[in-house]
Amino acid sequence: MQSGQADFAVVDMTGALLEHGRGTFTDLRVFTAIYQRSVSCIMALASRGITVPRDLEGKTVGYTAGGVNKTLFPTYARLAGVNEARIRWVNLPPPQLRPTLLSGKLDAITEIVIGKPAVETADCGPTGAGELRRCREVTMLPYSNYLGDLYGNALATTLSTAMGNPGIVKRFRDAMLKALAYAIGHPKEAGQILAKHQPTYKAEAATAEVQAAEPYVRSGVTIGDVDETRVMQSISLLQGAQAIPDTGLRPEHVVSLELTP
């Protein structure tokens, strides 16, 4: 989107705030929230004995460069009382994170909370009758436990598109929200469709992920809602954690409020 090759993109709201706050991509405008809470987390196999954030000290954690989970981790660590200097980070491409964790070469990885079913069932073999077989247990350390004000994924466009063609933004927004509402209302069908297009992904695991996503999508508000006050709270939290400088950043600098649902 930044290079002009896409009109819209799914971004992490916190990532958008960090880009604006640091001045690295200020032409970005969010117009719809997908997740009302951050889905970022650290995931570990239960056998590694990681049950609280401080257990990450002395461990090896996989991540992907540029991913918001790693970018946001220093803020999470500061609030959770973790000494990040004691963590050994290993940079891997996204497709390699889960397999490397399952191989035992990592203690934990950066992940999203709704990815739990896929990791617990990976390579577990069929059970028949479309049942989901979980052959391992994983531990989740959600960032939202310490960063409760933060939104998760959101839809974004450029400022020039938001201002120059608001009609197409609204039509795209409405179509995406209709699809999102249908998907979380029909998780089994959504899982089957995903598996049809990605045969290596189990339909049952995809269904479980959609079900896990629903409370993050609905969360007691209109689907897609973006609240100006909450965005300001997120900005204040990131500034207080010294993730971005206090340069007068406001919600309207990041969110096209007139284009939100």
Per-residue pLDDT of the chain (261 residues; tens, 9 = 90+): 989 999 999 999 998 999 899 898 899 999 999 999 999 999 999 999 999 999 999 999 999 987 888 988 998 999 999 999 999 999 999 999 999 999 999 999 999 999 898 888 877 766 555 666 777 899 999 999 998 889 999 999 999 999 999 999 999 999 999 999 999 999 999 999 999 999 888 888 899 999 999 999 998 889 999 999 999 999 998 888 788 899 999 999 999 999 999
Contact between 1 and 149 (Cβ < 8 Å): no
Q: Which domains does the chain have, with CATH numbers?
A: 18-37+153-259 (3.40.190.10), 40-145 (3.40.190.10)
DSSP secondary structure letters along the chain: -TTSS-SEEEEEHHHHHHHHHHTS--SEEEEEES-SS--EEEEEEGGG---SGGGGTT-EEEE-TT-HHHHHHHHHHHHHT--GGGPEEEE--HHHHHHHHHTTS-SEEEEEGGGHHHHHHTT----STT-----S-EEEEEGGGT-TT---EEEEEEHHHHHH-HHHHHHHHHHHHHHHHHHHHSHHHHHHHHHHHSTTS-HHHHHHHHHHHHHHH-TTS-TT---HHHHHHHHHHHHHTTSS--S---HHHHB-GGG--
pLDDT computed for residue 230 by the predictor: 94
pLDDT computed for residue 75 by the predictor: 87
pLDDT computed for residue 164 by the predictor: 96
pLDDT computed for residue 125 by the predictor: 66
The pTM score is 0.86
pLDDT computed for residue 66 by the predictor: 79
pLDDT computed for residue 135 by the predictor: 79
pLDDT computed for residue 31 by the predictor: 98
Alpha carbons 173 and 70: distance in angstroms, whole number:
28
